[in-house]
Structure 1
Amino acid sequence: MATVEISSLLVPSIIEMAKAPSTSIPSRYLRPDIEKAVVPDGGQVLDIPVIDMQKLVSGGPNNPEIQKLDFACKEWGFFQLANHGVDSGWLETLKAEVDKFFKLPLEEKKKWWQSPGNAEGFGQAFVVSEDQKLDWGDLFFMLTYPLRLRNPRLIPSLPSPLSETMERYTSDLNNLSVAMLEKIAEALHMKAEEMTEFVGEGRQTIRVNCYPPCELSDQVMGLTAHSDATLITILLQLNDVDGLEIRKDGKWVRVHPLPDAFIINVGDILEIISNGRYRSIEHRGTVHPVNERLSFATFFGLAYDGELGPAPSLISEQTPAKFTRVKVQEFYKGLFARKLQGKAYIDTFKIQQD
């Protein structure tokens, strides 16, 4: 069994802190200089591209849905996935069970609290110093695939039926991730065996987020602006409170998910493999002044024993490599030694072009 090690300092529960008056919020959580989001034309939230999974897998040569997928990954870095095949009734069960899990008494949740240097369990991630600004949210994080690397104190010990629900959901999402990457490789005109070799046995982790309400919601941040160090991330909003914002054309805009749709985003690893054709996009989680927000992010990445770099079939004299090659283990080690800061990490792997 392997643990997910992160240079992380333990911090208090935000769910418990939110029960106190807003005047008692420690200064570490206050960010009065937060860049505000813009309201798109017409006063509506942002409509990001929608991809139909059934059309994606059933179309033949010159499938227009593949072309839509390529456009979404290239121009947006985000898209919604409809008709994904995960049962909507099962998703409602998951939402209800996660809600109950975060509402457990603090003493009960301490059974699954993070330990020093290990990110798995309740707590926060990417806390690397005593004076950095902190997010207004609690998370539950764990490695779920491959099965041999799971922490045995987590899924098996979760309350029933949450443990069974989590087993089925993570299995469904693992299969969906593999299917999506096959279609992404097709959209890139990349050799399928290259994607298979990069992924290896793959690595799936999950992060379930709870952002308690805060009267000073315009001065706190649920999740710091960042790009994901993944191939792809699949996000499920667990209640009706919006809060995901993406940086589009230099401005922060709010995303409103379709009912039962997943939001999928390109990660840093896919940007590197695609040699920059697809770009990971900065995004963040905001806090509501009155209502709690819940979300479930599933991250799909690479096994630790390989190398990461642009796919050879995408490199030519006309399209030289834009990123250096690096061992996957070193890539993740460097990532977890830093605090979240936009796309600063992936930028360290860029090759300066003449």
Structure 2
Amino acid sequence: MDPEEVAVQEDEGLGWGKSLPVPSVQEMVRKDSQSVPERYIQDQNNRPLDSEFSPDLCEIPILNFSLLASGDGEEQRKLDLACKEWGFFQIMALHDLKAAEAAFFKLSMEEKKRYAMGENDLQGYGQGYVVSKQQKLEWCDLIFLVTLPPKIRKFKHWPVSIPGFKEAVEAYSAEMQKVTEELLANLSLLMGMEKEELKSLHGEMKQAMRMNYYPLCSRPELVLGISPHSDASTITLLIQDDELTGLQIRHKQKWVPVKPIPNAIVVNVGDALQVWSNGVQKH
């Protein structure tokens, strides 16, 4: 499982998109842990080749957030290099959301359906970006919540019946907003702009949180938890499972597994930041 927090610029009136309803992978595995339905089996040319994987675990650049926040020049140079050469880095920060997330996915299927995505909305429980009945599906269930600004939250999709869930999400959201604003300030300076310039380009900053659940699969070589992609956001902040190496990033034409570090947040450059930096910062 991994919660993601993203800072994005949403065009007025476009919403967050929509996704067709599909069966829950978690429930499917609960009923039959050995079968992999055809629609989840990736086409041969979409399955990662052994030759495309790096044999080594990757320790992507690790930054000291306290030093960044204090304006340390050396740490800013490390941030600049990480964005230009990798498009990924890790920062150490406190967070406490995993228990609330795990509690949601332990709910019964009937209870989880109470928070299902609407017909024309990505917010809620389901699987995102399913646009046709023919496309291959990802081996993943998720719940997607818009968290900031508070006025656009849709609490009908928040499982508030779980004790402490709302409070954990709000606390995590506030903490990640502080991290986001500090990173954007440092990136603004590195791009030769005023400290608040990147933040101001967003207008009213919007934040969303995606919590992913990846059930065990009897044939993992046939499926993908999440297909290869770049994020449309400015930046994405991602928490990995501390015990499993699941995240892989594309670096120098190889897929490189990222070793989890307890209490670390993986940060990756999104499409918007790459555009705003004229391609200098890489997604």
Gaps of 5+ in 1: 281-354
- Work out which of the residue numbers 185, 190, 206 in structure 1 matches 2:188: 185
Distance 2:159 2:219 in 1: 38
Deviates most, 225-234 or 161-170? 161-170
Aligned residue pairs, count: 268
Report the counterpart of residue 108 of structure 1 in structure 2.
111
The range that moved more, 169-178 or 67-76, is 169-178
**Given the alignment, which residue of 21, 28, 33 partners 2:39?**
28
Residues 136 and 278 of structure 1, relative CA distance in 2, 3 Å threshold: same
Distance 2:85 2:236 in 1: 17
User: Secondary structure of the residue that 1:80 maps to in structure 2?
Assistant: strand
Which of 1 and 2 has higher RCO (CA within 8 Å, sep 6+)?
2
In 1, the alpha carbon distance for the partners of 2:18 and 2:176 equals 28
Q: Whole-Å Cα distance in 2 between the matches of residues 188 and 15 of structure 1?
A: 44
What corresponds to 2:91 in structure 1? Answer: 81
For residues 90-124 of structure 1, give each alpha carbon's deviation from its aligned partner in whole angstroms, at most 9, with x where no partner exists.
52xx2122112101110111111112121111101
* Alignment CA distance shift 1:133-1:226 (3 Å): same
Compared with structure 1, are the counterparts of its residues 98 and 156 closer, same or farther at alpha carbon in structure 2 (3 Å cutoff)?
closer
Match of residue 5 from structure 2: none
Q: CA deviation at 1:20?
A: 3.7
- Higher alpha-carbon deviation: 156-165 or 228-237: 156-165
Matching of residue 9 in structure 1 with residue 12 in structure 2:
no
SS at 2:239 equivalent? strand
For structure 2, the residue ranges without an aligned partner over 5 or more in a row are: 1-12
1:113–1:122 Cα contact (<8 Å) kept = yes
Calculate the TM-score normalised by the size of structure 2: 0.89
- Greater shift, 3-12 or 182-191, is seen at 3-12
Shift of 1:4: 4.3
Identity of aligned residues (%): 38
Amino acid at match of 1:211: Y
Residue in 1 that maps onto 2:6: none
- 2:172 & 2:14 partners in 1: Cα distance? 21
Partner of residue 150 from structure 1, selected from 137, 153, 174: 153
The equivalent residue for 2:58 is 46
Structure 1 counterpart SS, 2:99:
helix
* Matched position secondary structure for 2:260: coil
TM-score w.r.t. structure 1 length? 0.72
Per-residue CA deviation, residues 109-155 of structure 1 (Å, 9 max, x unaligned), is 11111121211111011111110011000000011101111113134
8 Å CA contact 1:145, 1:202 repeated in 2? yes
Where do 1:237-248 residues align within 5 Å?
237-248=240-251
Aligned to 1:124: 127
Moved more, 51-60 or 161-170: 51-60
Cα distance in 2 between the residues matched to 1:200 and 1:238: 33
Aligned to 1:139: 142
RMSD: 1.9
* Per-residue Cα deviation, 1:23-55 (whole angstroms, up to 9, x for no partner): 542211002521135554xx5311111111111
Shift of 1:5: 4.2
Distance 1:265 1:158 in 2: 33
